A and B are shown apart, each in its own frame.
Chain A
Amino acid sequence: MLGSGILKGLGVTAKNFVGSYHDPARMVTQEYPDTPAKLPEAYRNFPFLVTENATDPMGTLRCVACQICEKECPPQCIYIEKSKDKKPDATGKPQLYPAVFAIDTAVCMSCQLCVEVCPFDAIKMDHVFEVAATNRFEGLLLNREQLAKPNEYFHQIRPTEAAEVDGRLTAERQAAAEKAKAAAAAKAAAPKPTTPVAGVADPGPASPRPATPKPAEGGTAP
């Protein structure tokens, strides 16, 4: 019968209309922004820099300014300047740190390649996606104070990955500490008072610190 196809189709739309009030499979609308968006753990948006200590974010950046991410970034949105001096990282090894670390989020395409190539677990993908700014140039150019976020925040957004990374880093640090202990024991066994003390384990008071390790506004907590 001509028109039966249309009537059947209208039946389907009627079923969907009624179902959209009670059937969970058809109630799919999320009331964003009234209810916040549910993000899966793997969700990725612009990167952030992991710091060990929330009270001293600039002093405890994991980044050692190796510039691998800067080279591998497809749209070339990362800009790094190495520091002139070194300071000890979590394992006590003196490392460079980024004097300048800027990401142009107007250019960044959230591809995660910087995270994948980073050998130090220093840069991770963020969950923040509400990043509107009033100025499209400087407002979207994030410097290292804005990028630095504490490790606790990383645990909060990606518990599984953060636990895995922390486990690995703790093992590395333990190994480094044991090595240092063994070296110290070896030194004690064969004392040579004239050998200058290597500045590995002890940064000393003269160790360079960043000018003012004051957390920037909005840089530490999400």
Chain B
Amino acid sequence: MENLEQIRDRLLARFPAAQVAIVVNPGSAAEHSLLLDPASAPEIARFLRDDPMLQLDYCSNVTGVDWPEKEITDIVKKSVPDPAGGPDKVVEEKTKRLQPGYLEAVYHLYSMARKHGSVILRLRTGNRSDLVTLPSLTPVWRSADFQEREIFDLYGIVFAGHPDLRRLLMWDEFKDHPMRKDYVAPDDFEWEPTPHGDVHERAKAHYPAPPPAASTPTPEAKP
């Protein structure tokens, strides 16, 4: 199989308007991926599937990833001339910036015809609140059908062009997206006296008066 740079160059030559970048994976697996811009993703996906050299006919895995916004501290070293005339001082200048958060959909592609792979595609949304629409690749690979529905359900990415975009695992009336990092779990547990303060305290706060049947447990019974 061609390496990722060659694939990227071929894609850029074929689709001049598209933006394709390589996302480096620093881990020991070294599976690098291609970051596509959402607008050109469907036609690139179709090309990857039908291209006789790649024939990536099998989309194995579709994953949603949540990257909340985080504060990054950039450290820039500057040499400042010493007013006293000595050697230049090296001063570290720290600037804080907010990296905006986004949601990501990752596609793992393989070829069953040529038995090679993997090529990993990444699509990123604009932010995590209102610009969460990505094009659906289900019309290209049917295997993305349930997986994109699952991402819509658990992460809240809206896949435009998906033939049947409904929640997959949670019920239809459910409001939030549970796999997001800032999801707050509900605290209306059934009153369940465990020895763990955490669950217990939250349940107690939710139900100020405990049900009469269950008494507060004493983790250690008196011998």
Number of interface residues of A (CB under 8 A): 17
- Picked from B192, B194, B196, B221, the residue with its CB within 8 Å of the CB of A145 is B221
Complex Cα spacing A58 to B195, Å: 20
Q: Tell me how far the C-beta of B196 lies from the nearest C-beta in chain A, rounded to whole angstroms.
A: 6
In the bound complex, do residue B194 and residue A107 qualify as a contact, i.e. CB atoms below 8 Å apart? yes
Complex Cα spacing A178 to B221, Å: 40
Taken residue by residue from 185 to 216, chain A's Cβ proximity to chain B (1 for < 8 Å, 0 otherwise) reads as: 00000000000000000000000000010101
A143 CB–B CB distance under 8 Å? yes
Q: Tell me how far the C-beta of B149 lies from the nearest C-beta in chain A, rounded to whole angstroms.
A: 29
Taken residue by residue from 194 to 223, chain B's Cβ proximity to chain A (1 for < 8 Å, 0 otherwise) reads as: 111000000000000000001001011101
Chain B residues with CB under 8 A of A76:
196
Number of interface residues of B (CB under 8 A): 11
In the bound complex, do residue A79 and residue B195 qualify as a contact, i.e. CB atoms below 8 Å apart? yes
> Closest B-chain residue to A76, C-beta based?
B196
In the bound complex, do residue B196 and residue A141 qualify as a contact, i.e. CB atoms below 8 Å apart? no
In the bound complex, do residue A141 and residue B223 qualify as a contact, i.e. CB atoms below 8 Å apart? no
In the bound complex, do residue B214 and residue A141 qualify as a contact, i.e. CB atoms below 8 Å apart? no
In the bound complex, do residue B214 and residue A79 qualify as a contact, i.e. CB atoms below 8 Å apart? no
B139 CB–A CB distance under 8 Å? no
Complex Cα spacing A137 to B194, Å: 7
In the bound complex, do residue B193 and residue A143 qualify as a contact, i.e. CB atoms below 8 Å apart? no
Q: DSSP majority for the B interface?
A: loop
Complex Cα spacing A8 to B31, Å: 54
Given A79-B195, A102-B195, A104-B194, A216 contacting B217 (CB threshold 8 A): no
In the bound complex, do residue B196 and residue A79 qualify as a contact, i.e. CB atoms below 8 Å apart? yes
Complex Cα spacing A147 to B192, Å: 21
In the bound complex, do residue A102 and residue B219 qualify as a contact, i.e. CB atoms below 8 Å apart? yes
A127 CB–B CB distance under 8 Å? no
In the bound complex, do residue A141 and residue B195 qualify as a contact, i.e. CB atoms below 8 Å apart? yes
Taken residue by residue from 176 to 205, chain B's Cβ proximity to chain A (1 for < 8 Å, 0 otherwise) reads as: 000000000000000011111000000000
Chain B residues with CB under 8 A of A145:
220-221, 223
In the bound complex, do residue B219 and residue A143 qualify as a contact, i.e. CB atoms below 8 Å apart? yes
A41 CB–B CB distance under 8 Å? no
Given A137-B214, A137-B217, A141-B217, A216 contacting B223 (CB threshold 8 A): yes
Complex Cα spacing A216 to B222, Å: 9
Complex Cα spacing A76 to B197, Å: 11
A100 CB–B CB distance under 8 Å? yes
Q: Tell me how far the C-beta of A192 lies from the nearest C-beta in chain B, rounded to whole angstroms.
A: 44
Chain A residues with CB under 8 A of B194:
104, 107, 141
Interface residues of A in 122-169 (CB under 8 A from B): 137-138, 141, 143-145
Interface residues of B in 101-124 (CB under 8 A from A): none
Taken residue by residue from 42 to 59, chain A's Cβ proximity to chain B (1 for < 8 Å, 0 otherwise) reads as: 000000000000000010
Chain B residues with CB under 8 A of A214:
223
In the bound complex, do residue B223 and residue A137 qualify as a contact, i.e. CB atoms below 8 Å apart? no
Chain B residues with CB under 8 A of A216:
221, 223
Interface residues of B in 23-50 (CB under 8 A from A): none
> Closest A-chain residue to B193, C-beta based?
A137
In the bound complex, do residue B219 and residue A100 qualify as a contact, i.e. CB atoms below 8 Å apart? yes
Q: A102-B220, A107-B194 are in contact. List 5 more A-B contacts (CB 8 A).
A: A58-B223, A104-B195, A141-B217, A141-B219, A212-B223
Taking beta carbons and an 8 Å cutoff, which residues of B are in contact with A? 192-196, 214, 217, 219-221, 223
- Give the 7 A-B residue pairs with the shortest CB-CB distance, closest first: A79-B195, A102-B219, A102-B195, A143-B220, A100-B220, A216-B223, A137-B193
Q: Can you identify 18 A-B contacts, CB atoms within 8 angstroms?
A: A58-B223, A79-B219, A102-B220, A104-B194, A104-B195, A107-B194, A137-B193, A137-B217, A138-B193, A138-B217, A141-B193, A141-B194, A141-B195, A143-B221, A144-B220, A145-B221, A212-B223, A216-B223
